[in-house]
Amino acid sequence: MVGKQIVEEIEITTENREEVIKRYSPMIKYVANRIAMRLPPHIEVDDLISVGVLGLMDAITKYDSSRGAKFKTYAEFRVRGAILDELRSLDWVPRSIRQKASAVEKVVRSLESKLRRLPEDEEVAKEMDMSLDQFYRTLDETKSVPVFSLEDLGIAKESGEQQSLLDCIAGKADADPQTQIRLIELKEIIAKAIDTLPEKERLMVSLYYYEELTMKEIGAVLDITESRVSQIHSKAVLHLRTKLKAIIADEL
């Protein structure tokens, strides 16, 4: 897969910007296509790629090799961040979908508190006065709502200005102790949330987000239909959103 290919490092300067963009264009397309897979069909991949190019140009301008981070790592975060920033500015998730997501999360939290376990699909559907099919359709509609935004948890500088966590990726380990501590905290929070998921959903997160397999490939691995894979993915997204919000509220 493009995203896992090793890109040979070259000198990064504004003078050889065109060469750098050409070298890293497969990475931009890969990131854009991965993000587009989770978006409504009216979002054009080519538009995301164009924004990704701007993110790469920004990375070229701001990259500092003395800070110890590889350019390809910094560039990918910049590209992904630029695309997500653009999507947030477009507000591509309709308010109605956000409201549905919030309603489902509220019911799941309530049932989990009452039952002291993760509620079954049938229990959530019944509580929401829906059929199971209606519940699954709702999950599919709301899976595009962002699970978690690292940038929204930017760390305040002494001046009071917010800095994006993406800006911290290329920093020295001892440059900003507060940032390093927050990054460690966030990793622990995400790991804790994933650990609470049912086994199939944990496997889904691993295969989809870490191994970067497609829904079709995951179906082949698990010997289930692609629609069933999508259903498990939607449930994993719902449970992660719910768990992360609860953990963050308690710990941050």
231-247 pLDDT, tens digit each: 898 888 888 888 877 77
177-223 pLDDT, tens digit each: 665 666 677 777 778 888 888 898 999 888 887 777 888 899 999 89
143 pLDDT more than 90: no
Scanning the structure block, which residue is given the tokens 């695309």? 83
CA distance 44 to 40: 9
Enumerate domains of the chain plus CATH numbers: 2-90 (1.10.1740.10), 95-152+163-251 (1.20.140)
pLDDT of amino acid 6: 42
Q: What is the CA radius of gyration of the chain?
A: 20
CA distance 54 to 224: 39
69 pLDDT more than 80: no
The answer to whether the CB of 193 falls within 8 A of the CB of 247 is yes
Sequence-distant (≥ 6) Cβ neighbours of residue 15 within 8 angstroms: none
CA distance 217 to 208: 9
Output the average pLDDT for the chain. Answer: 78
| Banded pLDDT at 128 (limits 50, 70, 90) | very high
CA distance 44 to 33: 10
The answer to whether the CB of 119 falls within 8 A of the CB of 135 is no
